[in-house]
Amino acid sequence: MKEMIKVKKAICTFLCMLLLCGSVSLFAFAEESDCSLTLVYRGDGNSFEGLEISIYRVGDRSDTEGFALAEGYDYPINVSGITTQDEWRNAATTLYSYIVADGKAPTATQTTNSNGEAVFENLQEGLYLVLTVQAQTDSTVYTFENVFVSLPSADSDGNSIKDVVAQPKSGSQAVEPQERQLKVVKQWQDNGNADKRPDSVTVELYKDGALQSTQTLSSQNNWSYSWTDVDDGGVWTAVERDVPESYSVTVGGDGAVITVTNTYVSPTPPPATGDTYNLWLYILLALFSGCGMIIFAVYKGRATA
C-alpha cells in the first residue's frame, strides 16, 4: 500500500514538473511592456510644444513575415512582407484612413513638451502607428506624416533597442491658403483576374478625419472623381468600404491625387495539421515513458529492500 502511495506521489510530481515547464515556456514568449517611444516634432529651428500625439498598437510580431495586424484592426490591409519605404508609407496612410473613419481609440496619447518631444513609456512590444499632426507658425504650416514604429527596433548593427527615438517626416507650406484641385483614382493590380472586379466601388472622402463626401467609382467615370478645396494644410484621405473579396486595399498618393489600389490576393491553402498531431503524440509518449520509469524505479527499490 505504501509503495502505491509512493508511486502516486512520484507521478504527481512528474506531472507538476511538466506543467511547470509548459508555464515557463508560455511566460517566456509573452510580450513584455518595458519599451518606450520618444517622438520628436521640430522644424526649421522650431520646437513645437503642446501638440497632442496619438499612437495605436496595430500589429503583433509574426513568426514568418514580420508583423500581422492586431485584434481590432482586421482591415484588408497587408503589413507583412513589406520591404520598401513607399510600401510602409502607403500602408500607414491606409490604416490611418480606417482608424479616423471608424473613430478608433488610441493606445496612448501624450502632449509634446518645450523640446517638441512626446514621451511614451511602459509600452508593449509590437507595431505602432503614429498619426499625422500639424503645427503652425506665423507664416508656415508643418504637417508631420503618419509613421509606423516597431518596438523594439534595431540599430545599424542589428542590436535590439527598447527605448526608441523617432522623428516623423514633415512637409511645410505657406499659411496663405489657395484653391487646389484634388482627385481620387481607383487602380487595380490583378493581372489575369480582372473578371473578379466588381462593377463599382464606394469610397468615403475625409478631411482631417471628418467625412466630406461619399463617391461611387466605376468604368463610367474612369474609376475617378475630382473636386476643389482650399489648400489650408488639411489632410485628405479615402476609405474604401466593402473591399471586394480576395482583394487587399492600399491608399497612397501625393496629396493632390489619392490612389486607392486593390491588389488580388491568391487564396492561401489550409495549413497542414499533421505536425500538431505528431507534437501531442510525442508529449504523450514522453509522459507515459516517464511514468513507467518512475514505477519501475519504485518497485526495483522495493525488490532490493
- Assigned architecture for domain 177-267: Sandwich (2.60)
- Dihedrals φ, ψ of 190, to 5°? -150, 50
Using one digit for the tens of pLDDT, what is the confidence trace for 73-125?
A: 999 998 887 889 999 999 999 999 999 999 999 999 999 999 999 999 999 99
HEC assignment per residue over 64-85: CCEEEECCCCCCCCCCCCCCCH
Domain coordinates of the chain in residue numbers? Answer: 34-176, 177-267
The reply to whether domains 34-176 and 177-267 share a CATH topology is yes
User: Using CA atoms, how far apart are residues 197 and 187, in angstroms rounded to an integer?
Assistant: 11
60: cell is 503583433
Rounded mean pLDDT, 273-297: 52
- Please report the sign of the dihedral spanned by the C-alpha atoms of residue 9, residue 10, residue 15, residue 21: positive
150 CA to centre of own chain:
9
Q: Report whether 48 contacts 41 (CB < 8 A).
A: yes
Range with the poorest average pLDDT among 61-65, 102-106, 151-155 = 61-65
Range with the poorest average pLDDT among 85-99, 200-214, 287-301 = 287-301
- 3-state secondary structure at position 35: strand
What pLDDT sits at residue 182?
Answer: 97
What pLDDT sits at residue 272?
Answer: 56
Under CATH, to which class is 34-176 assigned? Answer: mainly beta
Q: Report whether 110 contacts 53 (CB < 8 A).
A: yes
